[in-house]
Amino acid sequence: MIRAIAFDLDDTLLDTTGLLLPAAARRACEVMRDKGLNCSLETCLQWRAELSTRFSHKEIFRKIAERAGHGENSSLGEAGMRSFYHSPIPDSLPLLEGADEVLKSVHGRYKMFLVTSGETETQWNKVRATGLTARFQEIFVVDKMRSENKRDVFHRILRQENLRPDELLSVGNRLAEEIRQAKELGARTCYFEYGEHVGERIEKAEDKPDFTVRAWKDFLRTCRL
């Protein structure tokens, strides 16, 4: 029986792909071009979109620099990555359709956690802009700049809440993160199939979710909550 739910933020509760990604990607490519990237802005954006189904943004901009012939150790990738993760966040951001209703429905019935990853300040700005600060028992921001991972957070939740692994449900849009890293601990998983990472390849047995939904209106019924 599920006793706790860990929700992802980007492209799970928040439409990051639609609302934030285009400007962040353009800004990162412009910064790289200003520093000497040997390809057009349009090509940079096209490559970023192609690479997004296989790699995280911590890797994507380094691979763009490599494709453009700048070598594996080029500083251009680092510049692009940091620009992408430090993009400005609006003061107010709406949740995806149906997400607010789900959060209200599960509140009080399950322990609720928000587990999001990225650059710490940027992620906290997103949390505040969506009005989610007070909606969860605890909010964890996994700092990708320090190579932190969600598995450690899931383990911490299990330990501090005295939960069996199968009493935790991890919900998110990344097979390699919210699904794999939770299933490696024995937790239950729900893949929210949305955003730019749709089409991400299953690379390990743990990448296969227990449940899959494409809209929040299907979440409660599909996950039997």
pLDDT, tens digit (0-9, with 9 covering 90-100), for 80-133: 999 999 999 999 999 999 999 999 999 999 999 999 999 999 999 999 999 999
pLDDT, tens digit (0-9, with 9 covering 90-100), for 33-88: 999 999 999 999 999 999 988 888 889 999 999 999 998 767 999 999 999 999 99
pLDDT, tens digit (0-9, with 9 covering 90-100), for 179-196: 999 999 999 999 999 998
How many CB atoms within 10 Å of residue 157?
Answer: 23
Bridge-based pairing of strands 111-118 and 188-192 is: unpaired
Q: How far apart are CA 84 and CA 23, in angstroms?
A: 9
Residue with tokens 């794999």: 180
What's the confidence (pLDDT) of residue 73? 67
Q: How far apart are CA 195 and CA 165, in angstroms?
A: 28
Structure tokens at 181: 């890293």
Q: How far apart are CA 135 and CA 114, in angstroms?
A: 9
What's the confidence (pLDDT) of residue 1? 93
Q: What is the DSSP string of the chain?
A: ---EEEE--BTTTB-HHHHTHHHHHHHHHHHHHHTT-SS-HHHHHHHHHHHTTTS-HHHHHHHHHHHTT--TT-HHHHHHHHHHHT----S--PBPTTHHHHHHHHBTTBEEEEEEEE-HHHHHHHHHHHT-TTSSSEEEEEEGGGT--HHHHHHHHHHHTT--GGGEEEEES-IIIIIHHHHTTT-EEEEE--STTTTPPP-SGGGS-SEEESSGGGHHHHTT-
Q: What is the architecture, at CATH level 2, of domain 4-15+91-222?
A: 3-Layer(aba) Sandwich (3.40)
Domain locations along the chain: 4-15+91-222, 21-85
What's the confidence (pLDDT) of residue 199? 83
pTM of this structure: 0.91
